[in-house]
Structure 1
């Protein structure tokens, strides 16, 4: 016989003596459901007391889900969907399932809320359940997660969205939103020339947001040069506030800023143009009312180009050469 239920200690001693095996086993039903017993009964399901522990249910309402990870892990947001190798990801999802007990549908075509694919396996079912939970959590903070986001990105955005709301309408808030939604800084692979040979080199693309500083107000005793408050802004003139709260300068900083040996490839330029387009669309929808923005790129784009020698079929790569409109971009600027 297995060990009797620990709940016997709450009963009078007469029920725990010889011949009390039935009572001890009967109480195990309640202990399993309420406190939890570490066995394989009911598929290893946890008890209510274990589920109500702060590191379990409490974490389900906080995107970190810390109870899934080693206590020594101090990361703010340990990854789930991005874990490698795949075996570790399966272990994390299996641990989550051991607490929640997500049922696996018998019908392979059955779909779970928040999943775009059929949940035919237990792992798919847990991921679909977690996606649905995060979508529900997003509604509590006035956020509708993008269905294209993976589990980890949903968790990151939900965890930071309230802090972002407090910074709404400021350069800091716009930068935080841009970095969060566009996964910046973005690492790209360019080329570097050493001793006539090209080697791959990585570097970050980052974005800065600021309000431009207008000219200062000068003190003058001449009416012709005195500062006069006007009913509308005129370019290159001072303003009372000392900055332009209605204008946001968005600066895309390339890896070759301060690193002149970093040469952009055609693929890099396509990545930068895509980022610029994404910024244009994002800022148009999230900028404060009655405000404008500009998008600039720093520094200029220097790309690797090729020149065919007239006397031979060899192709020589020239680091600083470029063809405007073909592989070199000049003065890219977006404004709204």
Structure 2
């Protein structure tokens, strides 16, 4: 199989979908790897390293897409890449289609076999989403410590406070991988942390881990509203695999917060769990709604590509080699994890969450 890796073009996206070790593994199995020139530079991987591992460097994204059986990416194709996709090509990347009807329709029209990292599932876990969720969860608090500063539009609060001054009130909605990593960072900085989730067993596990250092609440409209009203920072960390994120924080709730408080919606890729969420970029990451500062960057881990690229490739490569060895048609019949990752196939949406989002039969 010919596996193609184009350079990522999303705003300030410096990750790349494969590392030299991955190239070596594929070429050892007699597959060919095409990589667009400079694709790895943002992650401190130069073209020579890929060539030594067995890849061929090509000059343009067109060369990659036109000559590859499978396209391996980090982020979903953008509009400038739609026409590059080839009929019946396999696409393996983060897709988040439930928040992107236009791309969904393009993939259907072009008969793309679209397999989404974020819906590959093993024993109820999402192994290809987990490493980037870990990164995004930790980053949410690092970013918050910056944007809570007055010069960046925040209310001028230090997360951990100092002796004699109260800590920042941090509310984390969602106790999954993103939420857990946000909690670790916030507790480490000394903030006062409240976490909400509908899964009481998940809250029990957090209570066992952190004890009195955090407060846990069942996620319901009243508890969310009360927590948000007191918060200096709200982290949206909700995920329903393959589906659009539910709106849990309303604009009316935000109106009860003190001015210049901060919300960070890590669920933005799936449409966001905060009513006022609009996707932003690393170049223009924030905006205000009703005096509340919003950070809604849709590719947060792209800001730390040297960590993110290697973490992602470590997780994806076993599945990449399966796809290359067996081909997409066979592998989705025989491998349950990748079958759950399949979102679009032969012109049809086969992921129920995406079909439900756009009322596609």
Query: Which has the larger helix fraction?
Result: 2
Q: Give TM-score, length-normalised by structure 2.
A: 0.24
> Bigger radius of gyration, 1 or 2?
1
TM superposition score normalised by structure 1: 0.25
- The structure, 1 or 2, with the larger RCO (C-alpha pairs under 8 Å, 6+ apart) is 2
